[in-house]
Structure 1
């Protein structure tokens, strides 16, 4: 098992390194660049030359990349030029990370808690009204864009019915203690129950909007996987031997059906990080997605680089955890 984990870690480092190379050269191939974004209409040739020299953009790209990696290994990813001018890019990432983690966690929890049980029930009741309704609902979840779902939820639940907050992470003026940056967890840790409840209410609409696509994917994979397992000979043999339905579900159906579902859950982390850009924009949540959209619009290279590379590292790390879980469920995976 240790050799399996080490092999996956080496692969993870290779992926992150390759991505850093691609992101670095891709950003510098975009038209305009940070100098134009910083100087704007004042971008005379003399000022551009001085700014490029100050930022180190006048050197060959391979030299720029090597120097960037040397600084990155020391934890220096540069300073923001537009998102928060003068602030360290890595500090911006850590400041925005809790909002995105909180949103993604609740969205994934909703998708898993609804998708897996509903997928199992739909498979067990194949062809019934429950199965057909759930399949149609999952298709709608995949087809409708996240931002449109977010606007619909805001309009009905926040504007028309005034049941939930319109935007933000917490009500303005609420005196809440900050510990981890995860507002719900902070409220629970400090026993400020009003702050925790307020943060949870602010999370409901964006989490539901972000969860629609992962829910649909997890539901359909669970349903298809359970249907495949139900047709296996060992399930019919277990039924013929007189085993109880509970034993058959736990030992034979769910355990084997969960293998592709576990992989799907890991892959949905990337979808959540991508969907967070639109969701955070719609609900005015100052997370990684919001910072990424601002940095891309204003060509803030340092912030863009650290956010994309860090998001990729999180995604690869989550998939490493999924691989480990997969290996624990199916020992054959460790030998491949």
Structure 2
């Protein structure tokens, strides 16, 4: 198990190193570039040359990269030029990361709470009316664009019915104590129940919009996996031995069927963390997705760099943890 863990951690470092190179080269080849983004209409040839010298952009690309890497390892990604001008780019990410964690965590929990039971239930009643209905629902969940569903939910439940807030993370004038940066958790820790509930109300619609695709994926994977496992020889052997139905379902069918579900859950969680741009933009939710969208619009390269690298790190770490959990559940993985 130790060797497997070390191997996965080394792969994590290699992935982040390669990503940093690709991101660095790509950003420096975008139209306009960093100098144009900073100077704007004041970009005379003299000022461009002066700023390029100050930023080190007149040096060879590999020299620029290793200087960037050295600063990045100390947490210095430069200052924001568009999302929060003058603010440290890493601080912009840290300020917004908690919001995206709350959004992604709630969405994946919702997807799991619905996807696994419904997938198992549909597999046990294969071919039935409700099984077919759930398959159709899952297909719709995958096919409908997230931004369209987000706009629809916002229009119906926030604008037309006024049941839930249309945007933001929490009511601006609410008296709330900040502890962890996770507003729902902060309210629970400080027993400020109104603040916690207010944060939840702001999250309900984004949770639903963001959970549709992972729910559909988890449902279909669970259903297919249960159908496959319940036809295996070891299940029939357990039935022949006279084990109770509940024991067979929990220990033999469900446990083995969960192996691919664990993998896809890790992938979906990582994807939610780095791919909530549309949902956060529609609901004006101040997470890293919205920061990334604004960063591209305003050519805020320091923020883009830290958000992409940190988000990729979170994605890779989550999937590494999932791989380790997979190895715990299925010891055969460790020898591969």
Equivalent in the alignment of 1:11: 11
1:79-115 deviation per Cα after TM superposition (whole angstroms, max 9, x unaligned): 1122112211111111110000000000010011111
Equivalent in the alignment of 2:234: 234
Matched, 1:331 2:331: yes
Equivalent in the alignment of 2:103: 103
Contact 2:183 2:199 (C-alpha < 8 Å) held by counterparts: yes
Count of matched residue pairs: 336
What pairs with 1:275-290 in structure 2 (closer than 5 Å)?
275-290=275-290
How far, CA to CA, are the matches of 2:207 and 2:143 in structure 1? 18
1:12-41 deviation per Cα after TM superposition (whole angstroms, max 9, x unaligned): 011111100110001111111122122222
Between 1:137-146 and 1:80-89, the stretch displaced more is 80-89
Equivalent in the alignment of 2:30: 30
SS at match of 2:276: helix
How far, CA to CA, are the matches of 2:246 and 2:7 in structure 1? 37
How far, CA to CA, are the matches of 1:131 and 1:11 in structure 2? 40
Equivalent in the alignment of 2:130: 130
* Cα drift, residue 293 of structure 1: 0.8
Extract unaligned runs of 5+ from structure 2: none
Q: Which runs of 4+ in 1 moved over 6 A?
A: none
* Cα drift, residue 215 of structure 1: 0.6
Equivalent in the alignment of 1:169: 169
Contact 2:270 2:316 (C-alpha < 8 Å) held by counterparts: no
What pairs with 1:125-204 in structure 2 (closer than 5 Å)?
125-204=125-204
How far, CA to CA, are the matches of 2:139 and 2:330 in structure 1? 30
Q: CA RMSD in A?
A: 1.0
Between 1:246-255 and 1:68-77, the stretch displaced more is 68-77
How far, CA to CA, are the matches of 1:261 and 1:75 in structure 2? 35
* Cα drift, residue 274 of structure 1: 4.1
Between 1:284-293 and 1:27-36, the stretch displaced more is 27-36
Equivalent in the alignment of 2:71: 71
SS at match of 1:171: coil
Contact 1:214 1:271 (C-alpha < 8 Å) held by counterparts: no
* Cα drift, residue 183 of structure 1: 0.4
Contact 1:146 1:275 (C-alpha < 8 Å) held by counterparts: no
Between 1:156-165 and 1:107-116, the stretch displaced more is 156-165
SS at match of 2:76: coil
Between 1:263-272 and 1:308-317, the stretch displaced more is 263-272
Equivalent in the alignment of 2:322: 322
Equivalent in the alignment of 2:49: 49
Q: Give the TM-score taking structure 1 as reference length.
A: 0.98
